[in-house]
Amino acid sequence: MRKIPLCRPSIGEEEIKSVVEVIKSGWMAHGTKNREFEEQFQAYLGVKHAITMNSCTSALHLAVEGLGIKGEVIVPSFTFVASVNAILLSGARPVLVDIEEGTRNISPVQIERAITDKTEAIMVVHYAGLPASMPKIIEIAQQNNLRIIEDSAECLGGSYNNNQAGSYDIGCFSFFPTKNITTGEGGMFTTNDDELANRIRALCAHGIDSTTLKREKETRPWIRVASGFGYNFRMSNLSAAIGVEQMKKIESLNDRRRQLAELYLRQLQHIPSIQFQQVQEGFVHSWQMFTILVPEALRDRLIHYLRSHGVGASVHFDPPIHEQSVYRNIKQGETLETTRKVAKSLITLPLFPSMESDEVDMICKLIGKFKGLR
């Protein structure tokens, strides 16, 4: 049986060669490749600061902590647990709100209704590679003096009117193997806020303002003084070496994702019971995932059917945050009905740049043969 995984990272000889060079150099901790990777990211997003980290979760955590937020942060319930964990572990209080069914992104209407005098920030989660309704969200944030933290883990290359996701206020990116580029594990923090960037660099490295690489150029490089408490959330030179090569391919990788998404859309659009993610005018989807909505009563059976035929279908995300017992005491907005509906009806289909067009054909034919969808 031919097996099609949910994803497969696109690693070539360039990444392998770069990693070998770093190993041979002997400098495997945070180093020159980190800075090169950060500069590529700054140029790509059009931001002043990009800071490599060991995960997107760390970036989200430091975004909240770096801003000194202890009040409420509005966040969608339809997200991975990392978004909410980052808020909780930073000592702030998440407020779970609903999403829009068409975009599967946080609802600006529900954001407005959840704002109180305790609200300090909005954490936007750009779902599956499609940016949220940023013009409206920025307007809401400005009217209420709120910061915006963009969980852009799934959205490298997604944009609205040529403004990249993660470039509006604070961006947090993931380089997990399923993402648009990978470093194995890793993340990036982006901002135009000079003061915040300096604070984050220290928090990321034990509270010490200067890096080991920078201190090596000083008269007494062994002097390490912390300006405050901090963590070890740094990315290694090895991981950054992979990231540097991946960034050189980001456009071609995303172009291939878009081609495959178009194949899915074209071949499945004749099935009326399938709903696709809606991409509105001005938005560019980076297709980190390709998801569909099917009737709730059929969803689990269809996933098992696809898996039995070697297709690595999955769900992102079910259960949503508000349905998980560990988060049961978290404050909620006025409704989470759309979140519940989408979570119980959604299927994530395989999508990765090295995927063959005939593999999309095979998956679509299987779905077309599944009883009950017509």
Contact 208, 37 (CB under 8 A): no
The string of pLDDT tens digits covering residues 290-325 is: 999 999 999 999 999 999 999 999 999 999 999 999
pLDDT for 337 equals: 98
> Does the pLDDT value for residue 217 go beyond 70?
no
> In which band, very low, low, confident or very high, does the pLDDT at 207 lie, cut at 50, 70 and 90?
confident
How distant, in Å, are the alpha carbons of 60, 199, 253 from that of 208? 20, 10, 36
> In which band, very low, low, confident or very high, does the pLDDT at 213 lie, cut at 50, 70 and 90?
very low
Class of domain 251-369: alpha beta
Pairing of strands 93-97, 331-332: parallel
pLDDT for 210 equals: 52
Strand partners, 93: 72
Q: What is the C-alpha separation between 310 and 324, in angstroms, rounded?
A: 29
Among 159, 186, 111, CA closest to 287: 159
- Where is average pLDDT lowest: 34-43, 95-104, 179-188, 203-212? 203-212
Q: Name the phi and psi angles at 154, rounded to 5.
A: -105, 15
Instruction: Characterize 94-114 residue by residue with b for buried, 16 or more Cβ atoms within 10 angstroms of its Cβ, and e for exposed.
Output: bbbbbbbbebbbbbbbbbbeb
Q: Where in the chain do CATH 3.40.640.10 domains reside?
A: 13-249
From start to end of the chain, where are the E strands? 49-53, 72-76, 93-97, 119-125, 147-151, 159-160, 163-164, 170-174, 187-191, 275-276, 283-284, 290-293, 331-332, 346-349
CATH topology for the 13-249 domain: Aspartate Aminotransferase; domain 2 (3.40.640)
Q: Where in the chain do CATH 3.90.1150.10 domains reside?
A: 251-369
Q: What is the C-alpha separation between 216 and 218, in angstroms, rounded?
A: 6
Among 105, 81, 82, CA closest to 319: 81
The string of pLDDT tens digits covering residues 20-55 is: 999 999 998 999 999 999 999 999 999 999 999 999
- Name the residue type at position 132: A
> Does the pLDDT value for residue 372 go beyond 90?
no
Q: What is the mean pLDDT of residues 54-58?
A: 98
